[in-house]
Amino acid sequence: MAFLFKFVQTPFVMSDSKNISLEDRFQEKIDNNIQIEPKDWMPEAYRKTLIRQISQHAHSEIVGMLPEGNWISRAPSLRRKVGLMAKVQDEAGHGLYLYGAAETLGAARATMIDDLHSGKAKYSSIFNYPTLTWADIGAIGWLVDGAAIMNQVPLCSCSYGPYARAMVRVCKEESFHQRQGFEIMMSLCNGTPEQKALAQDALNRWWWPSLMMFGPNDSESKHSAQSMKWKIKRFSNDELRQRFVDMSVPQAKILGITIPDPEIKWNEATKQHDFGAIDWEEFWNVVKGNGPCNKQRLKTRNKAHDEGRWVREAATAYAEKRHQRKQNQAKSA
Ligand SMILES: [Fe+2]
Ligand SMILES: [Fe+2]
């Protein structure tokens, strides 16, 4: 995409002053678009910020499987079932890449997962809304994965190497998710009046939570300025949200359904769409754990984790056995 900066692999000359601090040297690398790798020196605050962001991202991928998993057994055709299963499995893979990226910063996977299960860690609030009809699967793919792409494409050129590289593959898969969602919406909108009404109802319920996915307005976003300086974040919440609105309006027109915001209109002066005010009270309420499905999501995750204990134990026992066998072979060689 044209708006991306590219981190370069080419050598560059560091300031040759012997008195330059580690922190200045680190910032100099970032300013010169040199990626930071796990063994490089980094400020503690940079490491902590990345662990928080990457682990929240990983949790969002994992919890994000739940609303859609709800519809795998009820997909309306074999083709839709195959597509949805592939998508949900992709999300599991995204979670795993991201836990792996957070581990390169020294975070322990077990701690991250415990924090998710205890409710201490956050994940994207959008996944605390219910999937009431099949059209919700279309709306999620179109809007939620569409918003995820908008957020994640810039991360392909973020300053931390393992996170940036994970994002390249994630974004390719997100693009498939967005297309499968839009195609579901298209089929419904070209179907019976009842099917089109389902699509409209899903858009009505998912539109505003999708706009909230970009986070608070820039004026309220406390971590933004430092994250921009470190090139962890490349564009502000409001910039990305605006791009998302500008992308979605023509798509809704193609579908023939109406975005539930009477204030949306093209602004000739700014060459962007103006849109109505977001209900931030609802956003914070869901973030604080009071959304329609917060408790259900955590309960389901905890149950899945408990029921998977025997698999983890068996895998660990098998790995130990293989390791032992290799050591015995090496001794007798
Ligand atoms: Fe994903
Ligand atoms: Fe996705």
Q: How would DSSP label each residue in 139-197?
A: HIIIIIHHHHHHHHGGGGG-SBHHHHHHHHHHHHHHHHHHHHHHHHHHHHHTS-HHHHH
Residue 174 CA: which ligand is closest?
2
**Which comes out higher in pLDDT, residue 325 or 17?**
325
Q: Tokens 């581990």 belong to which residue?
A: 103
In the predicted structure, residue 15 carries a pLDDT above the cut 70 = no
Model confidence pLDDT, tens digit, residues 316-328: 999 999 999 999 9
37 within 8 A of 161, measured Cβ to Cβ: yes
Tokens of 103: 């581990």
Residue 93 CA: which ligand is closest?
1
- What are the beta bridge partners of residue 34? 8
The Cα 61–Cα 49 span in angstroms is: 19
Q: Which helix (H) or strand (E) holds 265?
A: strand 265-267
- What are the beta bridge partners of residue 51? none
Dist. CA 91 → ligand 1 center (Å): 4
Assessment of whether the complete model's pTM goes beyond 0.85: yes
In the predicted structure, residue 1 carries a pLDDT above the cut 90 = no
272 φ, ψ to 5°?
-140, 170
Q: What is the average pLDDT across 194-209?
A: 98
59 within 8 A of 123, measured Cβ to Cβ: yes
Model confidence pLDDT, tens digit, residues 286-329: 999 999 999 999 999 999 999 999 999 999 999 999 999 999 99
The Cα 137–Cα 145 span in angstroms is: 11
Three-state DSSP at 234 gives coil
What is the pLDDT at residue 155? Answer: 95
Dist. CA 263 → ligand 2 center (Å): 29
In the predicted structure, residue 17 carries a pLDDT above the cut 60 = no
Q: What is the average pLDDT across 140-149?
A: 97
Percent of the chain's residues with pLDDT above 90: 89
Dist. CA 102 → ligand 1 center (Å): 16
Residue 57 CA: which ligand is closest?
1
Q: How many CB atoms lie within 10 A of CB 279?
A: 13
Dist. CA 99 → ligand 2 center (Å): 16
Residue 169 CA: which ligand is closest?
1
Residue 178 CA: which ligand is closest?
2
Three-state DSSP at 8 gives strand
Average pLDDT of the residues of the chain: 93
The Cα 29–Cα 224 span in angstroms is: 20
What is the pLDDT at residue 168? Answer: 94
Q: What is the average pLDDT across 220-227?
A: 81
Tokens of 262: 């009477």
For 283, residues 6+ apart whose C-beta sits below 8 A from its C-beta are 125, 212, 216
Q: Tokens 């590289």 belong to which residue?
A: 165
- In this structure, of 127-131, 193-197, 220-224, the range with the lowest mean pLDDT score is 220-224
